[in-house]
Structure 1
Amino acid sequence: MGVQLPRRRGMSRARLALTLGIALGVLTLTGCSSQTQGEWKRLAMPEPGTQEGTRILDFWVNSWIAAMATGIVVWALMFWAVWRYRRRHEDEVPVQTRYNLPLEIFYTIAPVIMVLVFFTHTVRLQTDLNALSDAPDHTVEVVGQQWSWTFNYVDEPVAGGKNVYESGTGSYIPTLVLPVDETVRFKLVSPDVIHSFWITGFLYKKDVIPGRVNQFEVTPNRLGDYRGKCAELCGAYHSRMLFNVKVVSRADYEAYLQDQIDKGFVSDTPVTGNKISTEQAGLETEGGTE
């Protein structure tokens, strides 16, 4: 009979842990899409698609840098105090300081100064983002209704002063088309409940409130496709309130408006929602479901 050697369980467990770690790393890397691979550089924020979004991203990153710097200083002081004033002998009692007036003044005033600086920059950025120009290049009246969106392209010259619109339903996701490098004012209205208009790639959202017109402006500066959604729980089919966004050249933008006119999606006044032809929605004319 041969001698039976003991199993090296520790080594087997180490190999198993290493294998699982490598597999998890591979799955994590392969699971990153082209839109999310660079988000770690922006601290989990998407790449901004507007001039205003760039300022928001800068504020976000700088806020995290300031927070991490503060955290490093606080952690360093904590560990230094633990090490510096630790018990060195069995029968020794560390110094019990009752109070330290200069230190207490410092950790009272310093946080107040930090909050004031952060608050000042926040208010300044918020004021700039909410400012409206005298004459934006385009105006889009956005109607958030249960449970989709209607986009009214108000007073576009290519439409001869009429209102071109695009409207969605729970089974049809509408598309908002915007020209690049031109200022767009959004006028947000709702006929029913509170919604929230959010284009994730623009890094900004605003509530859509019944009986009130909220407005803001953006200047898209990057061609491409974006995603939009409602960021306010508005009812049973809130999850269907999705829309697509395309930022295109001026020529493509005018071609899109003309195409909408040719299809008959034009009105004398802004459409208030839920007015959509069966051709656009892709629904049956009779017996179809909404």
Structure 2
Amino acid sequence: MTPGLPLWGRRSVSPTRRSARRPLARRRVPRAAALALLMVSATACSADTLDEWSRGGMPVGVTKQADTVQSLWNGSWIAALATGVVVWGLILWSVAFHRKKKHSKEELPPQVRYNLPIEILYTVVPIIMVGVFFFFTARDQDYVNVVSGTPDVKVKVEGFQWSWRFTSEYNGKTAQVVGTPVADYTQGPQLVLPMGKKVEFDLNSPDVIHSFWVPAFLFKRDVIPGVTNKFEIDTLNKPGVYAGRCAELCGVDHSRMLFSVKLVTPAEYDQYIASQAGAQ
């Protein structure tokens, strides 16, 4: 009985209560683990899901540069997961083998604050990891930012509040598309590009900062007033229509600043550019 408390305020503690909780927890943990495994297995059955996992949730790339970005992304995740496994393993190992024992004395575990080899290890290893990340990032960034100056197609991109103007030059012919704010990218201006060609983009804006983003390029670049930003892509043989949007908050109708990019065969592109040039 607890001294100093009235009878109605005293609580008896059953000596079997703790022992009754432990078997219950032991039963629940395996069931929860089995349920988690079942859910993971169920979400990884289709080829589409496996493909999404292999891309790390990134969209399908339609340029050679996108393949480079995807490889860098995958490598970064692999390194991060490997580091996570090591850290989680050390945490679990400490929990399992260095927890406080029953009836143990109130003592600190062995301290390693002055262990020189360990301190060198956790200083040198992160430096090496950062150096490796820096090397591959700098290498791939240099490749993605290359502008040859001899593209097959040159596209002048003008972002304005709140749509886009695309002016394409190909074989001495020019085609222009001007859009208006829309609720769906399929209704916005469409930039048509040929597959298997080198395309240069020159971006500028007459009003505020915008950002030209095509998720399938795995790349975006700011469109800045008074500055002409450039980048170049090599399109792959993946025909289709791909969404594009402004990725920089630029005003009231920013969310409606949508467009699409359509990849077609070179023959179809010849017909398109000739029809657009003739209509002007």
- How does the TM-score come out when normalised to structure 2? 0.77
Moved more, 241-250 or 40-49: 40-49
Q: Check conservation: 1:35, 1:46, Cα contact below 8 A.
A: no
Q: Deviations over 1:124-152 (max 9, x none)?
A: 11111111114111110100111000111
Residue 175 of structure 2, aligned match among 164, 168, 183: 164
2:127 pairs, out of 88, 107, 112, with 112
Q: Secondary structure at the match of 1:247?
A: strand
Choose 250-259 or 208-217, whichever is displaced more: 250-259
SS at match of 1:39: helix
State how far apart, in whole Å, the 1-side matches of 2:100 and 2:215 are.
53
In the aligned structure 1, how far is the partner of 2:257 from the partner of 2:209? 13
- The residue aligned with 1:287 is none
Aligned-partner residue type, residue 180 of structure 2 = T
Q: CA deviation at 1:257?
A: 1.0
Task: Tell me what 2:222 maps to.
Answer: 207
Q: What is the CA-CA distance between 1:36 and the residue it aligns to?
A: 7.8
Larger radius of gyration: 2
One-letter code of the match for 2:251?
G
- Indicate which of 83, 90, 98 corresponds to 1:77: 90
> C-alpha root-mean-square deviation of aligned residues, in Å?
2.5
Give the Cα separation in 2 of the matches to 1:143 and 1:36: 37
- Contact in 2 for aligned 1:158/1:257 (Cα 8 Å): no
Q: In 1, Cα distance between the equivalents of 2:166 and 2:152? A: 16
The 8 Å contact of residues 87 and 94 in structure 1, kept in 2 or not, is answered as no
- Report the AA paired with residue 197 of structure 1: F
Alignment counterpart, residue 142 of structure 1, candidates 153, 157, 163: 157
Distance 1:243 1:36, change over 3 A: farther
* Separation of aligned partners in 1, 2:261 and 2:143: 24
| Structure 2 residues not aligned, in runs of 5+ | 1-34
Question: Any idea what SS the aligned residue of 2:262 has?
Answer: strand
**Matched residue SS, 2:99:** coil
Matched, 1:181 2:196: yes
Q: Could you tell which deviates more after superposition, 244-253 or 99-108?
A: 99-108
| Match among 53, 61, 64 for residue 74 of structure 2 | 61
In 1: Cα distance, 2:87 partner to 2:256 partner: 45
Per-residue Cα deviation, 1:141-184 (whole angstroms, up to 9, x for no partner): 10011100011113x2262xxx3211101246100011101100
SS at match of 2:54: coil
CA offsets 1:190-238 (integer angstroms, 9 cap, x no match): 1111000011111000000110010000011022111100000011000
- Asked if 1:245 corresponds to 2:258, the answer is no
Query: Which residue does the alignment assign to 2:143?
Result: 128
**Deviation by residue 1:68-115 (Cα, 9 ceiling, x = unmatched):** 001101111222123232223413335241512211221122112111
Letter in 1 for 2:221: K
The residue type equivalent to 1:178 in the other structure is: L
Structure 1 outlier segments of 4+, above 4 Å: 34-37
Percentage of pairs with the same residue: 45
1:95 aligns with 2:106: no
Count of equivalent residues: 234
